[in-house]
Chains A and B, each alone.
Chain A
Amino acid sequence: MANFKSLYQALPLEKAIGPDDPHYVDYYGRGNAYGYSADPIAQLATSISFSDPEGRGLHLVSGQRGTGKSSELTRLKHILEADGFEVWFTDLEDLFVLSEPIEIGDFLIGATSALVSLGIDSGSDFFDRLRQFFQTEIEVEGLTVGADAAVFKAELDVMFRQNPTIRQRVREKLRARVDAIWRQTADYVEHLAASRNRRVVWIMDSIDRASGRFDNAAAVADSIVALFSQHADKLRFKHIDTVAVVHPWLSSATGAALIPTTSTFLPSIRVRQRTGEVDPLRIGLLVEIALRREPGLFALVERKHVEQLALMSGGDLREYFRLLRSCAIKGGAAAIEPPVSAAVVTDVINEQRNAMLPIAADELDWLRQISTSKQASLKTRGDVLALARLLNGKFVMNYRNGDDWYDVHPLLFDLL
C-alpha cells in the first residue's frame, strides 16, 4: 500500500533507469501520445546505422542536467546493440579532474585508459608503447613509468586524479607531442575496433560535467571548445562512431569550427508552450512518469497537486521528483493523514524557490529578458559562460520545438 515512505523511495534523484526497468517510460518512443514528432535517440541510432561503416563519425549529445540523458544513453546502447553494434560506454568522470582544463593529450590518454578499464582488452600493447614513449621521449620528472604496462596505467590513472603537479608537467610535455600521442591512441583503438566482428560505437559520457571552479570556469570552457574545434579530427576514429556527451552551449561556442556528424539535443520536458500556455500532454507525461514509479501516488498527493508540481518543475525530471519527495517528507514528518494539503504543496514550492535565492540583480535582469524574448541573446564570449551558469543552475530551462528556445524556471516567475 502506498505511503509517504514508499513515495519517497520510488523517486530517487541520483539513479538513472534504463529501458529494462519496469518504471521506465519511453516517452520519445511513444512520441505522438505526448506531442513528440520524433524520437531523437532513435534518430541518432538510425544515423549511426546509416553512416559510413568505416567509422570516423562524431556524434554529439547534449542536454541540461536532469533531462534524462543517462537514461536515454542507456536506451541508445540497447538500440544499437540490438542492431548488431558493439557499444563501449566510458564515463570520463572517473578519469579526469573535471574542474581543470582538459587538453587533447590527456584527453586521449584518459579516454583510452577508461576504455581499457572496461576489460575489452588488456591494453598492454598501448600502455607498453606509451610507457616507452614516456621513458624515452618525454621524460616527466616525478612520474614513475613502472616495470610494466599495468603499473604504468595505474600510475597514470592516479596521476590524472590526484597529483596536480605531475599532471601539469605531463600536459606541458604532451603539448609538443600531440600528433605522436594521437597516432598511438588512434592506432590502438582503431586496431581494437577492427578486431571486433561488429561495428563499434564508443560513448564518452560526462564530458559535459567539466565545469571549472569559480576562478577558472573560462579556462575550462575554452579547453572544451578547443578540444572540439581545433582537435575535433583527433576524436574521429576509423571503424568507430564516437558519441560524446557535451555541454549544451558547445555548438554555439565552436560555430563552424566544429561540424559533427550528428548533433542531438535532449531538452527539458516542455510543460508550457512558448506563448506561456500550459501543455497538457507534457503535464500528463510527467504525471505518468511519477505514477509508473508509485501507482498509489494520488492517494498521497492529489492529482491536481501533482499536476501543479509538474508545472512548477519546468519539465526537469529531478526537480519534479524533488518536489514530490518533499511532499512525502513533510507529510511523513508531520504524520498527517494523506493526501497532503494545498498548504503543504505551497510550502514545498516556496522552499524549493528559496533554495535558488538570492539572485544577483544583473542576472535577474537577464532572466527578465529571457522570459520576454524566449531567447538567450549571446553577444559576447562572456555571455556564453553566463548562459552556461544559468543553465547549470537551472535558472533557465532549454526547450525545443522546431528551434531551441529558453524560459525562466517556473519557480522564479514570481520574482520577475
Chain B
Amino acid sequence: MAETDLDEIERVVRELVTRIEFGRGQFHLGFLFCEELWLLKSIEEQVLARAAKVVESFKYRSFSAFDVDSTLAALLGERREEDFHVFELHDLSEGELKQILVVLNERRTSLIDRIGGLLVLSMRNSLMGEIGFLVPDLWSVRSFATKVAATQQWPPQILPIGPRVIELGGVASVSVSASATLDKRKLLLLASHALRDGKPVQAIRLAREASAIATETGDWAALGAAADVLDDCLDYRYAADAYKNALTKAPGDVNVARWARKRAENLIAIGDFQEAALSIEQARQATAVLVADDRERLLTEVTLGELELWRGGNLFERHLRRVARKAKPLSAAEVRALTALAYAALRSDLALASVRLAEAIAGSGLRIVRYGATPARVLRHAGLLAAQTWIAQIRNDDDQQSAVTYLDWAMKELGRFPALSNYRERLSEFASRDAFNRANPSAIDTRGT
C-alpha cells in the first residue's frame, strides 16, 4: 500500500473520530464515496479503535430494495444512541441504491429523531455528483461528503523503511519502526487487508508482529486491537494470549468485558474449556455493571452457550434462546446466536431443528451474516451454508442446485483457512452422507426431527 493511501485513510479517520467526539449525542450525517471496500473497512476499524467513547457502531449491511421499509422500521423503532453508524450501501445495484437513498431521504426527520450520533452513508463512486439531486433533503443537512481512493492496489511491493523487517511469504517486505503508534496501526491495517485479500498466513504474521510491538511499548489498546485481528485470523492461541495480556495489563480498560469474552471464544476453539469458563466468568463480572439488555452482556451469554455446546452439555440452546429473545431485531447478538446455532448444525444430529430455529430467530439476519465483514464471520457463515446444504438435501426438495452452490462455496471458504480443516472434513462427511440420504430419503426424514 502506498504511503499516500495511509495518509488519506489517516486523514479521514482523524476527521471522523473528531466528528464523533464533537457531535456526540447529536445527529450528524456524512457521505463517504469509496470504490474499494477494503478502504472503508480499514477506516471503520480504525475509527472504532480510536474514538475514545464509542458505545457501539451499527453497520447496517442488510439494506435491500425489497425490504427497505421493514429494515428501516426495525432500525428506527427506537432511538439509537450509538456514536457511529455506518450504512454500507456498496453491495447494491445502482437501481437498488437509488431506491434506498430515496426512502432514506423521505425519512430524514425520522433519521434525525432516531439516530443520536454520526451516520455515514457509504457507497461506491457512481452517484458522486448526482447525490445532491437524488436526495436533496439529506444532502442539505450533510456535515461532510468525501471521496476516499486508493492510489494503488493491494498488495504493495514497497513500504516505508525502518529497523523491523517482516517477511511476507515472498510477496512483500515490510519494514516499520518499532516505536511509533502509527506503525502498530499500519501493521494492523496491513494485516486486515491481507486477511481480506485471502492471505491469512501473512495476516497472522503482521498481527502477531503488531501484538509484539504493542506489548513492548505498553500500548494496551493497540494490543487489544491486535488481538481482534488475530481473532479474525482464527489464530486462536495467539489471540487468546494477546487478550489475556491486555486483560492483565489494562484491567480498567473499557474493553475488558469484550476482551474476556473474545478470549473465551478462542479458548473454546482450541478446547481449553476450563480456562474458557474462567474467562467467561470474568466477562460476566465485567458486564454486571451494564444494563440488562446490553449487547456485550448478550454476547457473553452466547459464548457461554457455545461453551456448553462444545463441552457436550445440554444448556447451549437455553442460553442461545435466551439471547435471541433479548436481542434487538437484526442485532449483532442475533447474528452471533445464529452462527452459534450453525455450529450446532455442523456437529450434532440436532441440525435440522437447530437451523430451523436459527432461521426463525434470525429471519433477515441471514443477510447480515452474508455481508459480515470479518473472515471469522464468513467462516461461520460457511458453517451455516454447510448446514443449509445438508438440510436442503435431506428435504430432497427442488433446491438441489442451490444446495450444490452452497456446498461448493462453503468448501472453498473453509479451504482457505488451515485452522478449519476439521470443518472441511466434517462438511465432506455431510456431503457424502447426504448422497446416501438422497438415495434413501425415507431413512432420513425422521432423523432430523
Contact = CB atoms under 8 A, between A and B. Distances in A.
A66 B98 CA distance: 23
A211 interface: yes
A329 B102 contact: no
B18 A333 contact: yes
A275 to B, nearest CB: 28
A316 to B, nearest CB: 9
Interface string A77-107: 0000000000000010110011100000000
Given A91-B109, A94-B109, A389 B129 contact: no
Contacts of B102: 99, 213-214
A374 interface: no
Given A14-B27, A98-B106, A213-B102, A392 B133 contact: yes
Contact of B129 (A162, A325, A358): A358
A356 to B, nearest CB: 7
A105 B112 CA distance: 30
B248 interface: no
Given A8-B23, A99-B103, A14 B141 contact: yes
Given A99-B102, A357-B129, A5 B21 contact: yes
A117 interface: no
Interface string B53-91: 000000000000000010000000000000000000000
Interface string B1-17: 00000000001001101
B139 A9 contact: no
B132 A322 contact: no
A393 interface: yes
Contacts of A14: 27-29, 112, 141
Contact of B18 (A12, A13, A329, A395): A329
Contact of B15 (A9, A333, A389): A333
Interface string B232-255: 000000000000000000000000
Given A351-B146, A357-B128, A9 B26 contact: yes
Contact of A66 (B15, B99, B133, B140): B140
A354 to B, nearest CB: 7
Contact of A392 (B22, B29, B132, B145): B132
A208 to B, nearest CB: 10
B177 interface: no
Contacts of B98: 213-214
B366 to A, nearest CB: 23
Nearest to A331: B18
B133 A329 contact: no
A346 B69 CA distance: 41
Contact of B143 (A13, A213, A333): A13
Contacts of A359: 129
B136 A211 contact: yes
A5 B134 contact: no
A143 B29 CA distance: 37
A296 interface: no
Contacts of B17: 333
B234 to A, nearest CB: 35
Given A93-B106, A214-B98, A333-B15, A13 B142 contact: yes
A40 interface: no
A13 B102 CA distance: 20
B321 interface: no
Interface residues of B, number: 40
A155 to B, nearest CB: 16
Given A93-B109, A98-B106, A358-B128, A393 B133 contact: yes
Interface in A107-161: none
Nearest to A5: B22
B34 to A, nearest CB: 14
B381 interface: no
B106 A97 contact: yes
Interface range, A side: 35 or more
Interface in A189-214: 209, 211, 213-214
B183 interface: no
A357 B130 CA distance: 8
Nearest to B113: A14
Interface in B181-235: none
B144 interface: yes
A371 interface: no
B14 A318 contact: no
A65 B140 contact: yes
A4 B128 contact: no
Interface in A326-355: 326, 328-330, 332-334, 351, 354-355
Nearest to B12: A333
Interface string A41-65: 0000000000000000000000001
Contacts of B28: 12-14
A354 B17 CA distance: 22
Contacts of A394: 132, 140
Interface in A354-373: 354-360
B101 to A, nearest CB: 9
Given A93-B109, A322-B142, A4 B136 contact: no
B114 interface: no
B19 interface: yes
B147 interface: yes
Contacts of A325: 143
Contacts of A211: 105, 136-137
Given A9-B22, A99-B102, A356 B109 contact: no
Nearest to B107: A93
A14 B238 CA distance: 47
Scoring B17, B19, B22, B29 by chain A CB atoms within 10 A of each residue's CB, the highest score goes to B22
A312 to B, nearest CB: 16
Contacts of B141: 13-14, 318
A393 B142 contact: no
Given A5-B21, A333-B14, A393-B139, A99 B109 contact: no
Contacts of B140: 13, 65-66, 318, 394
Given A13-B142, A162-B69, A392-B133, A332 B106 contact: no
A334 B132 CA distance: 29
Interface in B393-441: none
Contacts of B143: 13, 322, 325-326
A118 to B, nearest CB: 16
A407 to B, nearest CB: 17
Interface in A369-396: 389, 392-395
Contact of A329 (B22, B29, B129): B22
Given A8-B22, A326-B144, A356 B15 contact: no
A213 B103 CA distance: 9
Contacts of A213: 98-99, 102, 134
Contacts of B145: 355
7 contacts: A4-B22, A13-B28, A14-B112, A209-B106, A213-B99, A214-B102, A355-B145
Interface of A: 4-5, 8-9, 12-14, 65-66, 91, 93-94, 97-99, 162, 209, 211, 213-214, 318, 322, 325-326, 328-330, 332-334, 351, 354-360, 389, 392-395
Please provide the 9 A-B residue pairs with the shortest distance between their CB atoms, ordered closest to farther.
A393-B132, A355-B145, A392-B136, A8-B22, A333-B14, A333-B18, A65-B140, A358-B129, A332-B18
Given A13-B140, A91-B109, A99-B103, 9 more contacts: A13-B143, A65-B136, A66-B140, A351-B144, A354-B147, A357-B128, A357-B129, A393-B139, A395-B132
